[in-house]
């Protein structure tokens, strides 16, 4: 089945650590996105990539980094510079007018 796979589903981070969230898609989509979801805030765009080896900052990129070395993969690193990383993170890909979402990763700082 085609889709987007995010891993892990739950992730715990100690303060000062960098952590990487995985996002893999087999839909052959060029465009991929990372959104952050906080209660009552909706989804906010962190980074996006329209093609391999290219990516752009979204609305809340500070404290995050990404790479796009392969079409299928768009990992997100939450760095120690992100002061409030506890949130639900959603990866998406899109073609034409439709976006497809992964099942999300819930990151908690302990």
Partner 1 sequence: AQSVTQLGSHVSVSEGALVLLRCNYSSSVPPYLFWYVQYPNQGLQLLLKYTSAATLVKGINGFEAEFKKSETSFHLTKPSAHMSDAAEYFCAVKDRGSTLGRLYFGRGTQLTVWP
Instruction: For the CB of residue 78, give the shortest distance to partner 1 in the complex, in Å.
Output: 18
Residue whose CB is less far from partner 1, 37 or 80: 37
* Segment near partner 1 (CB under 8 A); pick from 15-23, 42-50, 61-69, 70-78: 42-50
CB atoms within 10 A of CB 89: 23
**Cα 84 from Cα 73, distance rounded (Å):** 25
**Count of residues of this chain found to bind partner 1 when the rule CB under 8 A is applied:** 29
- As to burial, measured by CB atoms within 10 angstroms (0-12 exposed, 13-18 middle, 19+ buried), residue 40 is exposed
- CB 60, CB 44: distance < 8 Å: yes
| Among 23, 48, 68, 78, interactor with partner 1 by CB under 8 A | 48
Judged by CB under 8 A, the chain residues 76 through 95 that form the site for partner 1 are 88, 90, 92, 94-95
């Amino acid at each position: 089945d085609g889709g987007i796979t995010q891993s892990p589903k739950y992730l715990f981070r100690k303060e000062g650590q960098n952590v990487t969230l995985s996002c893999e898609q087999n839909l052959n989509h060029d465009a991929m996105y990372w959104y952050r979801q906080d209660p009552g805030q909706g989804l906010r765009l962190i980074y996006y990539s329209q093609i391999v080896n290219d990516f752009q900052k979204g609305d809340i990129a500070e404290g995050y980094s990404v790479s796009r070395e392969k079409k299928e993969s768009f990992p997100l690193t939450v760095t120690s510079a992100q002061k409030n990383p506890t949130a639900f993170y959603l990866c998406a890909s899109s073609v034409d007018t439709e976006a497809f979402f992964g099942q999300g990763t819930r990151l908690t700082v302990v």
